[in-house]
Structure 1
Amino acid sequence: MAVDKHCKNLHRAPSPEQCMDHYGCIYENNHLITLLVNPVDGSITDANRAACEFYGYPIRIFRKLHITDLQADPYAGLEDFIVQGMPGDEHGANRVFMDRHLLAGGQVIDVEIHTGMMSMLGRSSIYMVVHDISERVRSEQRLRESEERYRDLVELCPEAIMVYSGGTILFANKQTEKMFGKKKQELIGQRIESFFSEQYIRSAKYNKLMTWGSIAKERFRFEQRFIRHDNRIFDVEISGVPIIYEEEKALQLVLRDITESKKEVERAVKLQDHRHAVVFPLEEKAELEKLYIPARTLSGDFFIFHKIDEERVVGMIGDVTGKGITAALNISALRVLFADCMEVTDDPLQVMKELNQKAILHLGEDYIAGCCFCLDFGTGLLKAAGAGINEFIYVPKDREGQCITVKGAPLGMFGDSEFEEKSISFQSGDRFCFYSDGMDLLFDSQELSGSYEYLTDRIAGASLQDDCTWLSLSIK
């Protein structure tokens, strides 16, 4: 508190006029809510303009009140105020405490009170500077409630969830106990590595996680294999998102045990690879070369050959909607539907019509792009119909390839779809190339009529946007 040269020390008995001028200057016009309280009986001896405006009392009323009249707690007394607000040592050091006060209109306000002792005209008073902290208290309450709701929701979650920052676990839900093999209380304050050892060299993303702590700025997801302290192996998918936890930056991690699902995927991959290891049913009639490269673990591409007799083979190349297990299941369903069609017709156009109706009935909105073809070696005729895969290449012997278009919407998209069929006469030395959309994204039609070796070399360094399947049938 600044003091002018006329009133440096009130204990030197300045004149009343000097003190009142000083008092009016630094007290009455102060924007801080300020009260003077008699420490003997708790009566309010003065209040500045800011206090009158805040509490809603005119000064004449204020001077009739006691400090206990402002306290919202009906059981609070002068003794409580003195214990909290009276300076506790010989130096008169300021005190700070929180209370709840009543305004003139009955509204309860949370306040933070700073008190100290001052002497005016030989009389000691407790001066109070009052700060309205209602909004801060409400914000803290909302934060506490939010954290409680967060904890309740997280505890109900079937996935292992933890909060991680600065290299340590700050919070863990009940589900983490199953994965970590420890009580969640034992996890707090520990590092993830304290419970697992990596089977393989750490991934770059896992290394980042261990050093990120509280500096990640966006959500992320990766997979990691762990060996627990009891040698149990876990394949874990770790998803993370930056959050504010207890007013600090942190990461919320969701750890999902994907050990069994990965085993299912591995089994599906082996089955898919086995199915694509087929040879052409009439090897003495044509030579098959094939490229089959999934963009991910499980491909949505497929190809099928069905032998009608010793002269005819029906084939289909296709791409189903979606990836992973869903795609694998749809391919399996389509193989069954295709086999059903073979009981009715071997004409590619009719096969497409039949499959379109069956796809609408059984596959819902999972569409299938495909091209169906029939090679009749007895007549030397190929028939082909398209449904989403709308072109293939015919390469006559010793001549350049021709791109053949067969129009038609993907199977299962429209109930009244029309499909186009084209017929091409062939002879020994001719070649047909069928391919999925993934190949079409990487190569032009001239390249797609190239050799197996050429495409293999080119695709080796390519960044795949989709599954790639390419079939070359060379007529013998």
Structure 2
Amino acid sequence: MAVDKQCKNLYRSPSPAQCMEHYGCIYENNHLITLLVDPADGSITDANRAACEFYGYPLRIFRKLHITDLQADQTSGMVKFIEHGMPGGEHGRNRVFMDKHLLAGGQLIDVEIHTGMMSMLGKSCIYTVIHDISERVRSEQRLRESEERYRDLVELCPEAILVYSGGMILFANKQSEKMFGKKKKEMIGQRIEAFFSEEYLKSAKYKKLMAWGSTAKERFRIEQRLIRYDNRIFDVEISGVPIIYEEEKALQLVLRDITESKKEVERAVKLQNHRHTVVFPLEDKAVLEKLYIPARTLSGDFFIFHKIDEERVIGMIGDVTGKGITAALNISALRVLFADCLEVTVDPLQAIKELNQKAMVHLGEDYIAGCCFQLDFGAGVLKAAGAGINEFIYVPKDQESQCLTVRGAPLGMFGNSEFEEITVPFSSGDRFCFYSDGMELLFGTQELSRSYEYLTDKVAEASLQDDCTWLNLSIK
């Protein structure tokens, strides 16, 4: 019987006093900023410790205030609180809204207010929980300002810029109108393929990147030929980088029209190829075989032959720093400088020294690796001087090849550089092989003395890291 009585006491409903004590413990120790508001007039009937600390009012002052006394906008008063915060519906549905409140010290705070109805000692009141969202509001404001600055900057960019995500254009700058042939508002929400024929977007890499949309993780750069809906052709360089745009992962695409520059490159390639179709100036004295393969569209390698007289030829093989148009321009400049040097001397060592001084003046930080050589068929000797290309191969008839060294720094690197010249006697059936450093990356020294067919086949199978030039001179 004692046990039954104890169990009944254990599960007996708590008294009102116990409920109030339990509520007071939870309410007062809650870290959430909490107020009790009279729905009749908006007066604050109670505030917990967190509210007192946050607003800076002691409890006795709080109980004399109305909810409107906390609002920064005094004109709206109780109307705003009732309109946005008054729980409604049959069951007193909870409400959430944002407002600006004033602390006791006059500081303005952005708050998010959660309200609900509750009954306390038989009287209804609005249970109000307040969250300080000032930092969140400031962060959102900074984000909006950042996006506005972003828009201002990209509008000034001379290239077309898009923000692309999920296969759709989210943003386009003014310059993109020129490339796409449409107003910005007509582009937003559309796919790039809506303006350029899809059948011409052939690059597998391009399609993959565009399909990724918001999931690309690295920067990329590709070239793509696009044909617009009006059949206008664009060669475009597309640079992409992952960004966060309006809280979404996206790609920022910069589209640069390189149509004209591509045409310039094509013209430069034709000119470069034409210059390298030359034959050896004294065809009755030696046979020239040449292997010339650019790693990219335009090569930084070159070779020159100049007939001195009926018995002598001076030549040069070289590699300029850089690639593309810059390299092509430097090669053209060097040809002019080399021709000027030959007005002064036809000796390889002296020509190299002259070229070094001219390169210091005219080529700035662009260096040139080269090897200059002269074949004197009357005397049966070859002279060679090195400047960055410091070795070549001599293959006597029916004998093993010899790798010969001519020391010297690249042209234009040092004004006081010292260069080395060697003299090699030759006779009928001998061979000389000159080559750029791209060939050294692919072949060993012994291989470089092998046949044109062998080298051509092996280069065709290789992934080129640099331009490759190889000259083979067979003495008749």
TM range (shorter): over 0.9
TM-score between both structures, scaled by the size of structure 1: 0.95
Counterparts of 2:195 and 2:180 in 1: how far apart (Å)? 7
Change (3 A) 1:5 1:83: farther
Structure 1 partner of 2:425: 425
CA-CA distance at 1:85 after TM superposition: 1.4
Change (3 A) 1:285 1:198: farther
CA distance in 2, matches of 1:62, 1:472: 99
How big is each residue's C-alpha offset from its partner over 1:373-405, in whole Å with a ceiling of 9 and x where there is no partner?
A: 011111111110000000000111111110010
Give the AA of the match of 2:152: D
- CA shift, 1:20, in A, is 2.2
Q: Which amino acid aligns with 2:56?
A: G
Match of 1:469 in 2: 469
Aligned-residue offset at 1:74: 3.8
Quote the Cα distance in structure 2 between the aligned partners of 1:18 and 1:82: 33
Deviation at 1:38, TM superposition (A): 1.7
Distance 1:395 1:462 in 2: 25
Equivalent in the alignment of 2:356 = 356
Alignment of 1:158-237 (within 5 A): 158-197=158-197, 200=200, 202-237=202-237
Deviations 1:342-389 (A, max 9, x none): 100000000011000000100000000000001111111111000000
Structure-to-structure mapping, 1:76-475, within 5 angstroms: 76-197=76-197, 200=200, 202-475=202-475
Q: Contact between 1:6 and 1:18, CA under 8 Å: does it hold in 2?
A: no
Instruction: Select between 272-281 and 27-36 the one with higher mean Cα deviation.
Output: 27-36
Out of 244-253 and 190-199, give the one that drifted further.
Answer: 190-199
Cα offset, 1:260, TM superposition? 0.7
Q: Deviations along 1:305-344, whole A, 9 cap, x unmatched?
A: 0111111111000000000000000000000000000100
Deviation, structure 1 residue 5: 7.5
Q: CA deviation at 1:68?
A: 1.7
Contact persistence 2:34–2:128 (CA under 8 A): yes
Q: Distance in 2 between matches of 1:49 and 1:163?
A: 49
Q: Which shifted more, 389-398 or 61-70?
A: 61-70
Contact 1:240 1:254 (C-alpha < 8 Å) held by counterparts? yes
| Deviation sequence 1:213-262 (CA, Å, 0-9, x none) | 11111111111111111110111111111111111111111111111111
CA contact (8 A) 1:434 1:472 kept: yes
Task: Report deviation, 1:87.
Answer: 1.7
Q: Do the aligned residues in 2 keep the contact of 1:216 with 1:251 (CA within 8 Å)?
A: yes
Contact 1:198 1:225 in 2 (8 A): no
User: Aligned partners of 2:97, 2:272: CA distance in 1, in Å?
Assistant: 72
Shift of 1:76: 3.5
Provide the secondary structure at the position in 1 that maps to 2:295. coil
Residue in 2 that maps onto 1:10? none
Confirm or deny: 8 A CA contact 2:234 2:259 kept in the other structure: yes
Deviation sequence 1:29-69 (CA, Å, 0-9, x none): 22211101122222211001111121122211211222122
CA contact (8 A) 2:161 2:175 kept: yes
- 1:428 counterpart SS class: coil
Q: Which moved more, 1:115-124 or 1:342-351?
A: 115-124
Question: Cα deviation per residue 1:271-323 (whole Å; 9 max; x = unaligned)?
Answer: 00000000000000100000000000000000000111111111000000000
Alignment partners' CA distance in 1, 2:199 and 2:277: 32
In the other structure, the counterpart of 1:11 is none
Instruction: Give the counterpart letter for 1:223 in structure 2.
Output: E
Q: Name the CA distance, whole Å, in 1 between partners of 2:199 and 2:439.
A: 36
| Change beyond 3 A, Cα 1:298–1:198 | farther
Q: 1:359 to 1:198 in 2, by over 3 A?
A: farther
Segment drifting more, 83-92 vs 155-164: 83-92
- Structure 1 stretches of 5 or more lacking a match? 8-13
Distance in 2 of aligned mates of 1:334 and 1:317: 11
Q: In the aligned structure 1, how far is the partner of 2:164 from the partner of 2:270?
A: 38
Tell me the SS of whatever aligns to 2:174.
Answer: coil
Q: Distance in 1 between matches of 2:199 and 2:456?
A: 33
SS at match of 2:210: helix
Q: Which moved more, 1:59-68 or 1:177-186?
A: 59-68
Matched residues, number: 466
Please report how far the alpha carbon of residue 198 of structure 1 lies from its aligned counterpart in structure 2 after TM superposition.
Answer: 5.1
What is the SS of the residue equivalent to 2:397? coil
SS in structure 2 of the partner of residue 253 of structure 1: strand
Aligned AA (1:149): R
Residue in 1 aligned with 2:3?
none
TM-score by length of 2: 0.95
| Counterparts in 2 of 1:353 and 1:5: CA distance versus 1, 3 Å | farther
Contact 1:199/1:226 (<8 A) preserved:
no
What is the deviation of 1:459? 1.0
Aligned counterparts of 1:18 and 1:416: Cα–Cα separation in 2: 100
Q: Could you say what secondary structure the match of 1:196 adopts?
A: coil
Instruction: Look up the equivalent residue of 1:257 and give its one-letter code.
Output: D
Contact 2:163–2:250 (Cα < 8 Å) also in 1: yes
Displacement of 1:434 in angstroms is 0.3
> 1:286·1:475 contact (CA, 8 Å) conserved in 2?
yes
1:6 Cα deviation (Å)?
Answer: 4.2
What secondary structure does 1:229 align onto? coil
Determine what percentage of the aligned residue pairs are the same residue.
Answer: 84
Contact 2:201 2:225 in 1 (8 A): no
Q: Which moved more, 1:66-75 or 1:395-404?
A: 66-75
